[in-house]
Amino acid sequence: DIQMTQSPSTLSASVGDRVTITCRSSQSINRNLNWYQHIPGNAPKLLIFAATSLEDGVPSRFSGSGSGTDFTLTISSLQFEDFATYYCQQSYSFPLTFGGGTKVEI
Amino acid sequence: QVQLVHSGAEVKKPGASVMVSCKASGYIFTDYYIHWVRQAPGQGLEWMGWIKPNGGDTNYAQKFQDRVTLTRDTSISTAYMNLSGLKSDDTAVYFCSRSYDPSLGFDHWGKGTLVTVSS
């Protein structure tokens, strides 16, 4: 199975901050990497697919980069509604696997 | 708009089975794969498997291979996840989600069903 490692596990930030979350895979996954936002009690939300493509309706302050084994999710200017947990997920091979999550808190 | 609506919360005893349903609307049910993902309390997301509503093909994570069965009823655009031999560490929120292809991201999710396993 491909292991996905996110860092940090928790991130304290303020509104307006630039935030970067990293995700590393245990083997190359090309660009088969997706990012999700999850607020407890809500359905998870797809933000970025194929490493860099912004899902329809997602604000442009979210961006993704990387390929191979190292990936980054960036929020250019953190908004109040962005306080949530973020997960990366590889869709390169089965079983599909997620990172452990990064909680972005105030 | 696309919606995936889950059945209600369940409380089960160890050793029992549970079936969770996921009713799809707002799109052609047979055009998208349905995935099941779970989240145990305080834990991350764990993929369990997918079903292709058009034809019923399935793919399960090896961890759940012996205990999970994914089915669907295309007449009512509903997918089902049956998990047998429940243990306390199966206590989790179970989500359904969809993807156009298994190699793509899950672009819509349900809000999940809480399954509690307790004696």
User: Taken in order B1, A44, B34, A53, is the CA torsion positive or negative?
Assistant: positive
A:B CB pairs within 8 Å: 66
pLDDT of residue A41: 87
For residue A74, is pLDDT > 90?
yes
Identify which of B44, B61, B112 has the shortest CB distance to residue A87. B44
CB spacing of A34 vs B106 below 8 angstroms? yes
Dist CA B82 CA B84 (whole Å): 7
Q: How confident is the model at residue B110 (pLDDT cuts 50, 70, 90)?
A: very high
What pLDDT is stored for residue A7 in this prediction? 97
Q: Do A43 and B95 touch (CB under 8 A)?
A: yes
Check pLDDT > 90 for residue B55: yes
From residue B11, give the alpha-carbon distance in Å to each of A100, B20, B35, B70, B92. 27, 12, 22, 20, 11
Confidence of residue B104 (pLDDT cuts 50, 70, 90): confident
Q: Which residue's structure tokens are 């090309």?
A: A30
Residue A68 forms contact with B (CB below 8 Å): no
Looking at residue B12, what is its pLDDT?
Answer: 97
- For residues A79-84, average pLDDT: 94
Whether B47 sits inside 8 A of A46 (CB atoms) is no
Strand partners, B60: B49
Q: How many other CB atoms are there within 10 angstroms of residue B48's CB atom? A: 24
